[in-house]
A and B are shown apart, each in its own frame.
Chain A
């Protein structure tokens, strides 16, 4: 009986893990000119949309002491910046092509996305 219960709970755990981590829907935030991103256990907001050929100023504020998040990298724009704790860091982008541009932490564990429309 124990085994049946453990198996059922385990199966439920697997489905839950899959749903919880891999089926999340990001809330897209429309950026107009500038946007503040709080870095705390990830990026919020982590999905930003903007119009092509419009300059955007992104202000990062790291509140998380985890060293994983201490750097933010925009590989497509060749930007890598150190984010000091509790200090605003401004990054300016001017995407000239439509598409999706990801950004991530230095160790590639946390991700965000900029959708240029």
Chain B
């Protein structure tokens, strides 16, 4: 294996002697071929044999002499992209302004009217030639450089049009300047068009400069997300804290986070508590209090406490990395609305070249005299005004800004197609448990029908539930624990699916379950009927407790409704979107909850496997359905819905089966997603209308369609200004989406 060259960033150097010390230590290290330390950049460039040594050995060699070294990774594509972009923008700016300055001088010396005020030397065609030539071949070099290889592939693009257009104007002017007699013989006025060739190049470069600057902003959201990543982590090694690079954190590492620091990777708190600002990931502006056992997300910001946590997800597995990946892939996907632009753009440039030839022939054959300059200028105008870029930029820039905007608000959109369909949604179906409700049931009522003490009801129920896996068991056990009730061992325990549980405690047979269990055991529940219906009307799930076939109590459990539920439903209703609740609960309980949050239509008693069928039924009525669920139990329904929205944590399978993931779990985000989709689609339509309309209207004008009626012709200079404006305006229009609340 060849030697590796790598740079390490060094901390703690103060003077040139530090440099020497580190260099000496490194060159003594086995496997190191050479080491150069730079004080100014605080970097060490080390060439080493990877078979004999490693990053870690080199870092420890540096720390042996009292400094700190971190292996810096190779420059990432993102950094390269940033550098190249900055360079490109700088070059464009320089070239555009020089071209426009030189072009301006030529224009001054040649344009009717102002020419009379110009210095005489500027009117000289040879001087104009000298000013125009660097613009054509230095500033305009990029157009040729793009055109020649493209022609080899028999393809053409925007640059081809600019290169051909300006070359025609330039070469014609050169010919006139050097061979005026030939032109005179053909009775053509001696009038070069160096102003056209230079100013067109200047304006198009200026347009590209603005476009490049604006385009950089469309991908800002992704850059911001990547920038959130912490660089180092404070890992506990043998009880001592050690700063390591984020890449060196391993699963299972114990990390300490202090107030005001970024959390490096995902994990769970094992000691301490804190208030954490997760707004960068979830869009939720209020900090979240976290305690022992709670999950923390990498890249979020620790506000108040110090805590220790165990690293559970690193590198590509972290939530931030997953979000970045998802947003990136969404921005690379294709919106169906783009299809038309795609088809047209592949024929566009050749068609424009053909139209330019037609323009030349028509003006030459039928145009007013002198026909050659007219034919030439109009042909150049056609070549210059055509702007396929605007069509190419119309959809992707809006999709980029739209998906980026979503990510900033905790709304992750899987692809452009999902973004597009979302604006058509007219029905939103919500799964109840875990979506509209918190998914953490709590005991709300303990009603005794014969004992004096409610504790006894809880004691029997909790003792039985200890062995059960029922989803409500947790709530009952928690309640018993809060009253410090001691539980007893249960004999003859039996769980009856869909009914409840039974078992023997203190030699008494105890039954705990729903009405069906009581019916099965032939236990009379008449005396509880009134209380039961009252509880159900309040949206609570009731369970009955019987001792030796005699009903003794009721325990009611309710799953608290999320704070954002009512506001979320109200927003959707105000947008004219129908909301539906889908649940396995009985109708009375479901209706009670629906009423509380303002949902009018309820589909109750739906078994998990039938959720899909219900979605299908709604779709059969011609509705465009969004299904909102947790993404795990209801994955088939999410996939089947036109848009599947998962209230996910962003890391799991939920993101796979859904089109939109709401990282913030805020129900108001459903309406926000629809609104974002509507605004993005409106922007795309506006962009496409502008880009197409621009070409459809202005190409005929450049050909001279208005000349027979109004004597209007489009100068190539105006054509280039319009062209430069068209792509800039499309990108700027997309950027407006960033300001949306």
Contact = CB atoms under 8 A, between A and B. Distances in A.
Q: Is B a genuine binding partner of A? A: yes
Interface of A: 2-3, 6-7, 10-11, 13-14, 17-18, 20-22, 24, 40-44, 46, 64-68, 70, 73-76, 78-82, 84-85, 87, 89, 106-111
Contacts of B142: 65-66
B388 A109 contact: yes
Contacts of B157: 68, 109-110
B158 A10 contact: no
A41 B361 contact: no
25 contacts: A3-B365, A6-B361, A6-B364, A7-B365, A11-B361, A14-B354, A17-B353, A21-B154, A24-B154, A40-B149, A41-B147, A41-B152, A64-B145, A66-B159, A68-B159, A74-B332, A78-B333, A80-B329, A81-B332, A82-B78, A84-B84, A109-B157, A109-B392, A110-B155, A111-B155
Contacts of A43: 153
Contacts of B341: 108
Interface stretch (B194-202, B343-351, B606-614): B343-351
Nearest to B148: A41
Nearest to B391: A108
Given A3-B365, A10-B361, A68 B342 contact: no
Contacts of B479: none
A41 B329 contact: no
Contacts of A70: 81, 84
B393 interface: yes
Interface string B124-155: 00000000000000000010011111111111
A108 B345 contact: yes
Contacts, number: 128
Contacts of A107: 388-389, 392-393
B212 interface: yes
A79 B145 CA distance: 27
Contacts of A24: 154
Given A66-B145, A67-B88, A109-B158, A21 B332 contact: no
B396 interface: yes
A7 B364 CA distance: 9
A60 to B, nearest CB: 11
A111 B388 CA distance: 14
Nearest to A106: B396
Chain B: number of interface residues, binned into ranges: 35 or more
A16 B348 CA distance: 16
A66 B88 CA distance: 10
B156 A41 contact: no
B349 A80 contact: no
A115 B539 CA distance: 57
Interface of B: 77-78, 80-81, 84, 88, 142, 145-159, 208, 212, 328-334, 341-342, 345-347, 349-350, 353-354, 357-358, 360-361, 364-365, 388-389, 391-393, 396, 415
Nearest to A40: B149
A111 to B, nearest CB: 6
A96 B434 CA distance: 35
B358 A21 contact: no
A68 B158 contact: yes
A107 B13 CA distance: 47
Contacts of B328: 80
B354 A17 contact: yes
A18 B353 CA distance: 9
Given A22-B350, A75-B332, A109-B392, A41 B153 contact: yes
B354 to A, nearest CB: 5
A17 B357 contact: yes
Contacts of B149: 40-42, 64
Nearest to A21: B350
Contacts of A22: 347, 350
A66 B388 CA distance: 15
